[in-house]
Amino acid sequence: MIKVTVWNEFQHEKESAEVRAVYPNGIHNAIADFLRSDEIEVRTATLDDPECGLTEEVLKDTDVLIWWGHIAHDRVPDEVVARVRTQILTGMGLIVLHSGHHSKIFRSMMGTSCNLSWREDGDLERIWTINPAHPIAKGVGRYFEIEGVETYAEPFGIPEPDEVVFMGWYEGGEVFRSGCTFHRENGRIFYFQPGHETFPIFYHETVQTIIRNAVEWAAPVLRTPGLKCPNVKKVHKTCKD
């Protein structure tokens, strides 16, 4: 059983009827709904919950944290970010969706700006599987299409990913590394580009397959106390001649 916590900023849905029309129960619940299964247990958490819903107790009981945020990144307290980060380093997986590229947690794990260019024209995106052997690409074909997305364009200010699994093509002329993996100590991180609040992307079957695959991939092999910085004793004293 993999334990997933879906975190959503959950602001757009409260403020905009247009967004509410797409995600009436919030993006977090839309994601939770398709993830719940015999193998995956899901809870949700949002910005307005006490401590953003991300207490140490919750995080320690989370195998994979999914993150969606957009207009309120700055309102996530630094101490919550530090707490999430600590748990990632011990082995909690992190899946960052779409505009979460600018979240404090993603930026702090990358060490870079995570900047990109963008436009909101409802372009067709065709997403190519460039690493078909990757567990996250299981069941996804050579490419799939999403009608109507927010376009993200390179250069994307991230370190060279450990693996680029998907690359996006937009009809307006842009490309983007749409699915990338990173390892940070014990934690596995997957960034996935699709997922704007005004487009019904989280109802797209292949998007759901990919996020489900990513949950399985990001779940920890081993959850550890995390690396420390101990003063150790000399262990080797022998010599042969």
Identify residues 179-208 at the interface with a second copy (CB under 8 A). Answer: 182-187
CB proximity list for 158: less than 8 A, separation 6 or greater: 110, 112, 114, 177, 180, 182, 191
> What is the footprint of a second copy within residues 58-77 (CB under 8 A)?
none
The answer to whether the Cα torsion of 36, 29, 58, 190 is positive or negative is positive
Minimum gap (Å) between residue 63 Cβ and a second copy: 14
- Smaller CB separation from a second copy, 17 or 133: 133
Element (H, E) at 18: helix 17-22
By CB under 8 A, the residues from 20 to 59 that bind a second copy are none
Instruction: Indicate the residue type of 234.
Output: K
Number of residues that bind a second copy (CB under 8 A): 76
Told to check if 159 binds a second copy by CB under 8 A, we report yes
**Encoding tokens for residue 93?**
């997986």
Separation CA 104–CA 74 (nearest Å): 7
Q: Does 94 bind a second copy (CB under 8 A)?
A: no
Minimum Å gap between C-beta 92 and a second copy is 11
Strands 93-97 and 64-68: parallel
Q: What is the DSSP string of 199-218?
A: S-GGG-HHHHHHHHHHHHHH
Cβ proximity of 216 and 135 under 8 Å: yes
Query: Which two three-digit tokens encode residue 204?
Result: 């797209």
Q: How far is the CB of 80 from a second copy (least distance, A)?
A: 17
Q: Is 232 in the site for a second copy (CB under 8 A)?
A: yes
The contact mask relative to a second copy for 100-119 (x = CB under 8 A, - = no) is --x-----xxxxxx-xxxxx
Structure tokens at 199: 């487009």
d(CA 94, CA 63): 9
Q: At its nearest, how many Å lie between a second copy and the CB of residue 86?
A: 9
Q: Does 221 bind a second copy (CB under 8 A)?
A: yes
Q: Which is nearer to a second copy, 10 or 156 (CB)?
A: 156
Smallest separation, CB 104 to a second copy (Å): 12
**Interface pick for a second copy out of 20, 41, 175, 208 (rule CB under 8 A):** 175
Smallest separation, CB 207 to a second copy (Å) = 18
The DSSP code for 155 is P
Subset of residues 118 to 147 that bind a second copy, contact rule: CB under 8 A: 118-121, 123-124, 126, 128-135, 138, 142
